Amino acid sequence: MAGSGTWWKEEVVYQIYPRSFKDSNNDGIGDIRGITEKLDYLKELGITMLWICPIYQSPMDDNGYDISDYCALAPEFGTMEDLDELIAEAGRKGIKIILDLVINHTSDEHQWFREALEHPDSGFHDYYIFREGSKPPCNWRSIFGGSVWEKVEGRDEYYFHAFGKKQPDLNWENEKLRRQLYNMVNGWLEKGIAGFRIDAITFIKKDLSFADREPDGVDGLAKCTKGSRNQPGIGAFLKELKQETFDKHGCVTVAEAPGVPYEDLDEFIGPDGYFSMIFDFRYADLDIASGSEWFKRRSWNVRELGGKIMDSQMAVQKYGWSANFIENHDQPRATTKYLKEAQDDPQAVKMLAAMYFFLRGTPFIYQGQELGMVNFERQSPELFNDISSIDQYQRSLEEGLDPDEALRIVNLRSRDNARTPFPWDGSRYGGFSQSRPWLPMTMEYPVIHAEAQSGVQDSVLEFYKSMIQFRQHGPYRDCLIYGSIRPIESSGNVIAYERQKDDVTIWCYYNFSHTGTQERLPDDAAGAVGIWGNDTDAEIRDGMLCLKPFQAILLKQDVPQSGTHS
């Protein structure tokens, strides 16, 4: 279906955190040329599209999510020529590139914000959200802690920031600003990128009454999301954004859009939706109360995980297409989060991978996930780089946790878990760089690295290659990509679903337990055989499938079927 409006359904996306992927000039920081150097690795893995986290000019307070110039690149990442070369080289290998689009806020070092401060009478003042007064206009808490309002030095005036205080929110109510943003977006699309991952986009509309809310923490503040995320009226902005930019280029858009209720999915990702896909965080955050409250931990089990995943799949299927992921640069490693004590068991790691990979939607793989990387437990709070981890540690203490417990909780959730440099080999600094990396490598890097797994049968990396190959080019690709999905009833430690297209039905089973278990197969599946998995041996007795510990298996009736020949 390539060439048609929904070509992106056939992609497998690989997310790169450029600071930590590959350092080409040995200054300890990953860069664009580093990505170009590793295109062969990515090609061999089988992925078809890269999402590169922000590489624009930035003071790096939030590692690039605080942009000070949308049209320039951060010098530590390279030059525009480097980027052109990457786009061209990747293109030659059949790999598309999408960039991160951060348009809810800029850096406070952006020219617009500087102008707004220096010349409050200039048009730039209204590009941001300022309120006059001698105290913060309301008691909302920012995502990275503290008030959403930061005082302007020397004036009785505050500016609004939903995230860090060096990330002032743009005022989307200002039409001139919106036009500037659209021009910038079109400029990037004309460069030949395939589209964007769009950052925090449900934050662009605010409840401008800025009324106090019932405090929900000992700091006397209230989460800002209720008044600054997915607010009524946001649709007009999103529609305009799409019409003025994305629609003109037929590009793919994947929005980070937390707070969208399933009932609203039609507007967001339906046939005329604002975006191609949006990420659903409901199961990614099932271990915590919310993305900004790590210290409120929740216990969960596999049944709940499976339930949340299938609810999401069924809700999205009604209107559109899913963006499936188990890791990203804001999440801990999926191995540690979902597998707990089994995080180092390759069979379990492969099972988890297959479980999300064959859901209906476009799969996203985060760098290092394909090696089965695990969380990095830091021994002291000073060792965190991520602003969110530093804030969550402080808040945990304020909320009454003792320092050990606070450290434990931050370690479980820290965004630094996913941001450690990519381990290419077992040498010093893991082949990432010849110099000490900006963030220490994980403890496991001498064991878990790409070279140790490449070409090694049964490695997690080779499993990912085979999995990607099977979805993209296997005999059942049509069903695995385009087939519908529905949950299959299963016992507590097993997630199971069915994929179906035309006369092909594939039953997928994933055992999250270190013990074997038996599952009753759907009636039409009796007599099916294993076609793929981390162990394709299907033992079926009296309509019961006997699953081995951590087995992942895809089953299908063993009859010649039309539509499977190519």
Binding flag, residue 327, Ca ion (CB under 5 A)? no
Amino acid at 177: L
CA distance 529 to 343: 29
Binding flag, residue 102, ligand GLC (CB under 6 A)? yes
* C-beta closer to ligand GLC: residue 142 or 442: 142
Binding flag, residue 25, Ca ion (CB under 5 A)? yes
Which of ligand GLC, Ca ion, none is residue 31 near (CB under 5 to 8 Å by kind)? Ca ion
Which of Ca ion, ligand GLC, none is residue 200 near (CB under 5 to 8 Å by kind)? ligand GLC
Q: Give the footprint of ligand GLC on residues 198-257 (CB under 6 A).
A: 199-200, 256
Q: Which of 11, 31, 280, 386 binds Ca ion (CB under 5 A)?
A: 31
Which of Ca ion, ligand GLC, none is residue 102 near (CB under 5 to 8 Å by kind)? ligand GLC
Work out the burial of residue 48: count CB atoms within 10 Å of its CB; fewer than 13 is exposed, 13-18 middle, 19 or more buried: buried
Binding flag, residue 62, ligand GLC (CB under 6 A)? yes
Question: Residue 25 Cβ, how far from Ca ion at the closest point, in Å?
Answer: 5
* C-beta closer to Ca ion: residue 29 or 374: 29
Query: What secondary structure does DSSP assign to 81-93, as a single string?
Result: HHHHHHHHHHHHT
> Is 214 known to be catalytic?
no
Question: Residue 238 Cβ, how far from Ca ion at the closest point, in Å?
Answer: 36
Question: Residue 199 Cβ, how far from ligand GLC at the closest point, in Å?
Answer: 5
Which of ligand GLC, Ca ion, none is residue 466 near (CB under 5 to 8 Å by kind)? none
> Is 199 known to be catalytic?
yes
Catalytically annotated residue among 11, 199, 386, 416: 199
- Tokens for 53? 């986290």
Catalytically annotated residue among 157, 256, 416, 498: 256
- Scanning the structure block, which residue is given the tokens 């994933």? 510
* C-beta closer to ligand GLC: residue 333 or 477: 333
* C-beta closer to ligand GLC: residue 365 or 506: 365
Number of residues that bind ligand GLC (CB under 6 A): 9
Which of ligand GLC, Ca ion, none is residue 100 near (CB under 5 to 8 Å by kind)? none
Question: Residue 39 Cβ, how far from Ca ion at the closest point, in Å?
Answer: 17
Residues in the chain: 566
Q: Residues 254-293 vs ligand GLC: string with x where CB under 6 A?
A: --x-------------------------------------
Binding flag, residue 163, ligand GLC (CB under 6 A)? yes
Q: Kind and range of the H or E element at 96?
A: strand 96-101
Binding flag, residue 23, Ca ion (CB under 5 A)? yes
Cα dihedral sign, 158-162-167-169: negative
* Ramachandran assignment for 542, one of left (phi > 0), alpha (psi -120 to 50 degrees), beta (any other): left
Q: Tell me the CA distances in angstroms from 222 to 218, 328, 400, one per residue in order.
A: 10, 27, 18
Question: Residue 422 Cβ, how far from Ca ion at the closest point, in Å?
Answer: 13
Which of ligand GLC, Ca ion, none is residue 25 near (CB under 5 to 8 Å by kind)? Ca ion
Long-range contacts of 406-411 (CB under 8 A, 24+ apart): 406/295, 406/381, 407/378, 407/379, 407/380, 407/381, 409/294, 409/295, 409/297, 410/294, 410/381, 410/384, 411/375, 411/377, 411/378
Binding flag, residue 330, ligand GLC (CB under 6 A)? yes
Residue nearest to ligand GLC (CB): 65
Q: Which of 12, 29, 74, 407 binds Ca ion (CB under 5 A)?
A: 29
Which of Ca ion, ligand GLC, none is residue 65 near (CB under 5 to 8 Å by kind)? ligand GLC
Q: Give the footprint of ligand GLC on residues 497-526 (CB under 6 A).
A: none
Please enumerate in sequence order all residues whose Cβ is within 8 A of that of 391, keeping only pairs 6 or more positions apart, or say none: 144, 145, 146
Binding flag, residue 294, ligand GLC (CB under 6 A)? no
Which of ligand GLC, Ca ion, none is residue 386 near (CB under 5 to 8 Å by kind)? none
Q: Tell me the CA distances in angstroms from 314 to 262, 265, 283, 442, 506, one per residue in order.
A: 10, 11, 14, 37, 17
Question: Residue 469 Cβ, how far from ligand GLC at the closest point, in Å?
Answer: 29
**Nearest alpha-carbon partner for 61 in 333, 442, 390, 381:** 390
Inter-residue contact 550 to 534 (CB < 8 Å): yes
Q: Tell me the CA distances in angstroms from 547 to 342, 486, 509, one per residue in order.
A: 17, 20, 8
Q: Which of 10, 27, 267, 444 binds Ca ion (CB under 5 A)?
A: 27
Question: Residue 521 Cβ, how far from ligand GLC at the closest point, in Å?
Answer: 40
* C-beta closer to Ca ion: residue 25 or 180: 25
φ, ψ dihedrals at 521, nearest 5°: -80, 150
**Number of Cβ atoms within 10 Å of the Cβ of 377:** 15
Question: Residue 34 Cβ, how far from Ca ion at the closest point, in Å?
Answer: 7
Give the 3-state DSSP-derived string for 397-432, with helices as H, strands as E and coil as C.
HHCCCCHHHHHHHHHHHCCHHHHCCCCCCCCHHHHC
Please enumerate in sequence order all residues whose Cβ is within 8 A of that of 166, keeping only pairs 6 or more positions apart, or say none: 59, 61, 62, 66, 107, 108, 109
Q: Which of 21, 56, 65, 70 binds ligand GLC (CB under 6 A)?
A: 65
Question: Residue 415 Cβ, how far from ligand GLC at the closest point, in Å?
Answer: 7
Buried b / exposed e along 232-263 (16+ C-beta atoms within 10 A): eebeebbebbbebbbeeeebbbbbbbbebeee
Q: What angle do CA 200, 233, 132 make, to 5 degrees?
A: 75
Note the Cα 466 to chain centre separation in Å: 22
Question: Residue 18 Cβ, how far from Ca ion at the closest point, in Å?
Answer: 9
Instruction: Using CB under 6 A, list all residues that contact ligand GLC.
Output: 62, 65, 102, 163, 199-200, 256, 329-330
Instruction: Using CB under 5 A, list all residues that contact Ca ion.
Output: 23, 25, 27, 29, 31
- So which residues are the catalytic ones? 199, 256
